[in-house]
Amino acid sequence: MSSTSLSVLADLRRAWQHGDRLYRSLLAAAGLSTIALILGIGVQLWQNSALARHAFGWRFLVTSYWDPALTDTFGALPFILGTLVTSCIALLAAIPLGVGAAIFLAELAPDWISQPLGFLVELLAAVPSVVYGLWGLFVFIPVFVRPTSEVLNRSLGFLPFFQGPVFGPSRLAAGLLLAIMVFPTITAISRDVLRAIPNSQREAALAIGATRWEMIYQVLIPYGTSGLLGAIILGLGRALGETIAVTMVIGNNLDLSASLLHPGYTMASIIANEFTEATFDLYLHALIEIGLILFVMTLVINLVARLLIWRVSRRTTLQVRA
């Protein structure tokens, strides 16, 4: 090897910073893959729903015909409403319980209680969705949802929301099961948000004679509002996209009544139920368009929630991430 070629090699190594340039571009490429994944999902779902988008346009969002058998007409309204209704039930039940539990874990319980309890909450998040569905179908519905539904129907049956007949699998069952499934999300993040609030806030409130509850309600909750809101919205995001457990307990029925006690459908559950049965392209594209709507909804919701939570964690030294 001549000396010139050696120096060329050395130049090359220097130019490549002894492999670091390659290393850095590899890292950046891996980092890009996350962003590419989000874009890729958007593009693929957009392209593969083209037939349905062209055939029905914006009407897809506001019509409620779903008829793959005779007229090939598709409208997503019942599924969008079903998703919103079940998620609302879930949040109504999960917000007071989840935030209350977070207050207990962060403010009231001594370490030897809050640590194992917090651990259990994290395990709850790890239970697979299909196991929730199994338990919901064979235990939760017969033992809790059915009796509750009958009481609601008897006492409030004059309202359209609680009209009979009472089925086991219903929107109410799905909503309540979703509430259980979003507990860990809301509880764990709210707890971290509360813990990130500086102690000076607590001391100031207690020093002017507030009771502990007054300190929590009038000082901590207003201080942590954006973080708590982020936790709740993140819980909403999970409820919207939850599929298999909901499919197992909602009864999967194109019921257009307002009754929560009737079986229904959500966006995720119609996809799970009919995707493999979509026999022609328009049908498949209509289902993929529902997936696209779901994707956009969860994307927006997650963006908002993350921004809210990030605002909290930037203000304090403590890391709050979900």
- Residues 112-151 touching other proteins, rule: CB under 8 A, are 117, 119-124, 126-135, 137-139
- CB distance 296 to 241 below 8 Å: no
Query: Residue 215 corresponds to which amino acid?
Result: M
Q: Which is nearer to other proteins, 13 or 154 (CB)?
A: 13
**Interface with other proteins by CB under 8 A: which range of 64-72, 159-167, 209-217, 253-261?**
209-217
Residues contacting residue 198 through CB under 8 Å, at least 6 positions apart: 316
Spatial distance between the Cα atoms of 127 and 223, rounded to a whole number of angstroms? 32
Restricting to residues 1-30, which ones interact with other proteins according to CB under 8 A? Answer: 17-20, 22-24, 26-30
Q: Minimum distance between the CB of residue 300 and other proteins, rounded to whole angstroms?
A: 10
Restricting to residues 49-88, which ones interact with other proteins according to CB under 8 A? Answer: none
Q: Minimum distance between the CB of residue 180 and other proteins, rounded to whole angstroms?
A: 5
Tokens of 114: 């809050």
Q: Which is nearer to other proteins, 178 or 259 (CB)?
A: 178
Spatial distance between the Cα atoms of 315 and 313, rounded to a whole number of angstroms? 5
Phi, psi of 110 (to 5 degrees): -70, 160
Query: Which H helix or E strand runs over 67?
Result: strand 66-67
Spatial distance between the Cα atoms of 291 and 296, rounded to a whole number of angstroms? 9
The alpha helices in the chain, defined as continuous H runs, are: 3-15, 20-47, 50-56, 59-62, 77-103, 111-126, 129-135, 146-156, 171-195, 199-207, 212-215, 221-223, 225-241, 244-249, 267-274, 281-315
Q: Minimum distance between the CB of residue 57 and other proteins, rounded to whole angstroms?
A: 21
Q: Which is nearer to other proteins, 75 or 230 (CB)?
A: 230
Q: Minimum distance between the CB of residue 2 and other proteins, rounded to whole angstroms?
A: 26
Question: Does residue 219 touch other proteins according to CB under 8 A?
Answer: no
Question: Does residue 38 touch other proteins according to CB under 8 A?
Answer: yes
Residues contacting residue 146 through CB under 8 Å, at least 6 positions apart: 166, 168
Q: Minimum distance between the CB of residue 197 and other proteins, rounded to whole angstroms?
A: 16
**Interface with other proteins by CB under 8 A: which range of 32-40, 69-77, 160-168, 193-201?**
32-40
Restricting to residues 246-305, which ones interact with other proteins according to CB under 8 A? Answer: 247-248, 268, 271-272, 275-276, 288, 291, 294-295, 298-299, 301-303, 305
Spatial distance between the Cα atoms of 252 and 101, rounded to a whole number of angstroms? 33
Among candidate residues 208, 145, 134, the one with its CA nearest the CA of residue 173: 145
Query: Residue 59 corresponds to which amino acid?
Result: R
**Interface with other proteins by CB under 8 A: which range of 64-72, 91-99, 160-168, 195-203?**
91-99
Q: Minimum distance between the CB of residue 322 and other proteins, rounded to whole angstroms?
A: 7
Query: According to CB under 8 A, which one of 7, 96, 160, 222 is a site residue for other proteins?
Result: 96
Q: Which is nearer to other proteins, 10 or 32 (CB)?
A: 32
**Interface with other proteins by CB under 8 A: which range of 55-63, 72-80, 160-168, 176-184?**
176-184
Question: Does residue 313 touch other proteins according to CB under 8 A?
Answer: no
Spatial distance between the Cα atoms of 267 and 252, rounded to a whole number of angstroms? 11
Q: Which is nearer to other proteins, 26 or 159 (CB)?
A: 26
